[in-house]
Amino acid sequence: MKNYKHYLVALIGSALLFSCGNQNGKSSSNGALNSSNAEKVYVAPGEQDEFYAFMSGGYSGNLTVYGLPSGRMFKEIPVFSQFPTSGYGYSEETKPMLETSFGFVPWDDSHHPDISQTEGVLDGRWIFINGNNTPRIARISLTTFETEEIIEIPNSAGNHSSSFITENTEYVVAGTRFSVPVPQRDMPINEYKSNFKGALSFISVDPEHGHMDIKFQLMMPGFNYDLSHPGRDKSHGWFFFTTYNTEEANSLLEVNASQNDKDFIAAVNWKKIEEYVNNGGGTMMPANYAHNVYDEATHTATSTMKKEVLTVDPLKVPGAVYFLPTPKSPHGCDVDPTGQYIIGNGKLSADLTVHSFDKMIAAIEGKKFDGEAYGIPILKFEDILAGVVKSGGLGPLHTEFDGKGNAYTTFFITSEVVKWKLGTWEVIDRKPTFYSVGHLMIPGGNSRKPFGKYVVAMNKITKDRYLPTGPELEHSAQLYDITGEKMELIYDFPTHGEPHYAAGIPASILAPKSQKIYRLDDNKHPYAAITPDQTRVERKGNEVHIYMSMIRSHFTPDNIEGVKVGDKVYFHITNHEQDFDVPHGFAMIGQNTSELLIMPGQTKTSVWEPKKVGVWPFYCTDFCSALHQEMQGYVRVSPADANIELTWTLGE
Amino acid sequence: MKKASIVMMVGSLLLLGLYFFPLWNIMLGAPQYPEPLGMNIYIDGIKGFNEFDIQNIDGLNHYIGMKTLPKPEDMWEFSAFPKVIGGMVFLGVLIGFLGFMGKVNHKWFLGWLILMSVLGVLGMYDFNAWMTDYGTNLDPHAIMKLANPDGSPMSYKPPLIGKAKMLNFDVDSWPRAGAYMMFLGMLLTFVAYIMGKKSRNTKTS
């Protein structure tokens, strides 16, 4: 304890800057040098990891897949950002995925992945993730590991308290971080107060296909909605959102939004609102937002603009929304696996505030209110409080659970993970992180059934952990073994982008159903060449459509003539392989877009607008066989006024 | 003799398994194929062990100039074998039935078995000849031409039975359910012969 006080004193000076927990680092990282710890993370050649970890890419806009405990990165799944590695967002089929009401937005800030659940248990069908900047929610298939759907969220800005899901994947939520005028209009910013609204969107998920649809938007007061978590088990049917800036300041929020001693956790009884909406409640409002769906049979995405959204005024549904006062600008909002405890982490405090769901219900039934905010009842802090974790750390952010009655909370300012006991609120252990930890993740740690073997800390600062790579370093993640009473730091590994949150799932759930190829006989792409005799070249005005196939180690056709300067050349390429992990690539000289990586059985289209007369090569970019280097072809480009017939050949 | 005749009929009927189960199986495993590629050989054609194995084996084989694996219409054997097996089943059941009725004696059982064995050996000989042609009669324009240490062209003939190493592939060639049922059936006809012989001996003594 003495040691710990020393630590706190040392840190407090620099508390509101980034922490510098290094001074304790040497002594407390002995664990990592322990050979038994090396064995715990070593996955020998030919062996496979026990868990998949899906880490949000933050400003990369994507989602990365890692193995635990090895920390090996398996894949980057493109979601909200163009990805030249595969042609996502560049190919004609995937460009519609990035359409929005603002037009083509080829990037986003992806924050919080969440895996679909059935009865509160991870089922491994899909993973959802939010785009924070241009509000969007994406659904990714966990059989193909491809983004299948993206829905834009109207009336929202800074889609941060998202994309968390209810325990049967009934809804994905998209809570707005920034309140904005609804509908958007030209108005003075300093008239924010009482004029701006915070939309909490409930997006229904079709249980069979996963298709998303905004069921309703709850129009809340103009606070900032930070993070959220669905109720579990007994609290299923409720959703909890942390707020900050209940002051409704619009400038220098650093100071002005930190004045109230307590902000709120908004408790939303979504079942009540769902019932109200199903009975015809709510107001349909004009809107304009994109809904992009990727069809696996045609390998093609379509984007449609939706024109209205159902809004709900919380005051019209009495008993549906309450405010739970929570100290000091709470950030993380987490519900334990039993659904009893709602943990609000006051990012400017030292303590954790834990609300009791039972007490909350009792207080609501007893109408023990402490005033209201914009007509929404505020419950009395003392009536709903289950307990306080007096940790002495600073800046608690996020909490996950191990399923054995313990909770693990990250402290950003003091750079540490603190283990504490649900119910007694006693601190059991604390371990430093390196450095400035944000979220943490236990596989299944936000579900009813956590797999409490490891915790991964997602750190913001890397500094001296790895070899320096100039001023920019990949962020560091740290793996702790949590099977014992005390946590043990067992591994460090770099992560791509800025992982905010992550979701983990046992490999035994996902690996057996991972798709290996696309079946050629299921390929319904309108421009596919399913057999080599379907390959051809057609001209429609100045458009030239090349129906091409590829197999180890050639393109069919490989010589094309009759293309002219000013043409728009569409390469529709079908990979005829039906073998696991045999994609082929396609790249064309001078093309103003990216390569394509085409999976076995898949068709993709790339556009090329030749600008110069000549004979121009294309080639396969993905090493496919001993004769990969020979996998190439030529397009002859003639002057715009030339009279060359379209011809195409192979092997002549 | 009645029991022996029933065993004779059951034994010949077991050959029907060849219509439903593969006769033979050849698997090709290599480090880069953790799930080996393979083919099941039926009396009426060849199927991949997994759905796309034939396409993928052909894809690999084209580098060394092997012909693509035959479709049923490419080989007379695939239309002849089902007829031969059908004929033998019919004949076996007929002999068994006649034995049951007391019209023929146990020597007919042995006769059937000898005929079946001869046909079986011919079948194996034909199968081996096909594999030899397939593994050695290579396209002269093959992308890769490999030679044995003595300079002779490398053969890619899989073993008729057993294991062999071909380049980096471990090849396993073994009978499958259809063949085991056939062997069991033939064994039973032999048992029928012995039973028939014994019952005759007891009658005469």
pLDDT, residue A2, reads 45
Assembly ipTM: 0.84
pLDDT bin (cut points 50, 70, 90) of residue A393 is confident
Query: How far from B199 is each of B1, B102, B105, B159, B189, CA to CA, in Å?
Result: 6, 12, 11, 43, 15
C-alpha distance from A579 to closest chain B C-alpha (Å) = 7
pLDDT > 70? residue A21:
no
Report pLDDT digits (tens) over B26-77.
999 999 898 999 999 999 999 999 999 999 999 989 899 999 999 999 999 9
As given in the structure block, the two tokens for residue A277 are 């909406």
- For chain B, where are the E strands, in sequence order? 24-30, 33-42, 45-48, 162-166, 169-175
Look at residue A324 and tell me whether its pLDDT is greater than 60.
yes
| pLDDT tens per residue across span B140-184 | 988 888 888 888 888 899 999 999 998 889 999 999 999 999 999
Write down the pLDDT at residue A27.
Answer: 43
**Residue A10: pLDDT above 80?**
no
- A282 residue type, one letter: G
Does pLDDT of A36 surpass 50? yes
Of A115, A105, A110, nearest in space to A78 by CA: A110
Residue to substitute from A579, A581, A582, A625, interface B, most B β-carbons within 10 A: A579
Measured CA to CA in angstroms, residue A375 lies from A183, A269, A414 at distances of: 21, 16, 38
Is the Cβ pair B59, A552 closer than 8 Å?
yes
pLDDT digits (tens, 9 = 90+) for A313-323: 999 999 999 99
Q: Are A557 and A650 in contact (CB under 8 A)?
A: yes
| Residue numbers of A between 505 and 524 with CB closer than 8 Å to B | 517
Write down the pLDDT at residue A538. Answer: 98
Interface membership of B52 toward A (CB under 8 Å): yes
Q: Supply the pLDDT for residue B79.
A: 94
- For residue A127, the distance in angstroms to the closest alpha carbon of chain B comes to 28
Average pLDDT, stretch A357-374?
96
Tokens in use for A202? Answer: 């409930």
Residue range A629-647: mean pLDDT, rounded: 96
B47: Cβ contacts below 8 Å, ≥ 6 apart: B22, B39, B40, B54
| pLDDT > 70 in chain A, percent | 95
Q: Which two tokens stand for residue B102?
A: 């007391």
CB contacts, 8 Å: B144 with chain A: 626
What whole-number distance in Å separates Cα of residue B146 and Cα of residue B144?
6
Q: Hey, are the CB atoms on B59 and A626 less than 8 Å from each other?
A: no
User: Which range is least confidently modeled, A24-38, A78-92, A364-378, A474-488?
Assistant: A24-38
Q: Which residue of B has its CA nearest to A518?
A: B52
- Dist. CA A106–CA A123, nearest whole Å: 30
d(CA A298, CA B157): 41
Of B35, B55, B143, the CB nearest to A578: B55
- Taking only residues 137 to 196 of chain B, the set having a beta carbon closer than 8 angstroms to any beta carbon of chain A reads 143-144
Instruction: Say what the pLDDT of residue A35 is.
Output: 57
Burial category of A515 from C-beta neighbours within 10 Å (exposed 0-12, middle 13-18, buried 19 and up) = middle
CB-CB neighbors (< 8 A) of A552 in chain B: 59
Q: How many CB atoms lie within 10 A of CB A641?
A: 8
Give chain B's mean pLDDT: 92
pLDDT over 70 at A4, yes or no: no
Q: Mean of the pLDDT values across residues A18-31?
A: 44
pLDDT of residue A146: 97
B50 touches chain A (CB under 8 A): no
Q: Strand A121-131 relative to strand A114-118: parallel, antiparallel, unpaired? A: antiparallel
Tell me: pLDDT of A23 over 60.
no
Cβ-based burial of A354 (10 A; exposed 0-12, middle 13-18, buried ≥19): buried
**CB atoms A626 and B52 under 8 Å:** no
Q: How confident is the model at residue A346 (pLDDT cuts 50, 70, 90)?
A: confident
Q: What are phi and psi of A456, to 5 degrees?
A: -110, 125
**Is the minimum CB–CB distance between B32 and chain A shorter than 8 Å?**
no
The pLDDT assigned to B204 comes to 54
Q: Is the pLDDT of residue A19 over 50?
A: no
Q: Give B16-25 pLDDT, tens digit per residue.
A: 999 999 999 9
Q: What tokens appear for A197 in the block? A: 């609204």
The mean predicted confidence, pLDDT, of chain A is 93
Query: Distance between CA atoms of A210 and A147, rounded to whole angstroms?
Result: 12
Can you list the pairs that A204-210 forms with residues at least 24 positions away whose Cβ atoms lie under 8 Å?
A204/A170, A204/A171, A205/A116, A205/A126, A205/A139, A205/A165, A205/A169, A205/A170, A205/A171, A205/A172, A207/A168, A207/A169, A210/A116, A210/A125, A210/A126, A210/A139, A210/A141, A210/A148, A210/A149
The answer for residues whose C-beta is within 8 angstroms of residue A466's C-beta and 6 or more apart is: A473, A474, A476, A492, A494
Is there a contact between B143 and A627 if contact means CB atoms under 8 Å apart? yes
pLDDT score recorded for residue B199:
84
Q: How far apart are CA A600 and CA A552, in angstroms?
A: 11
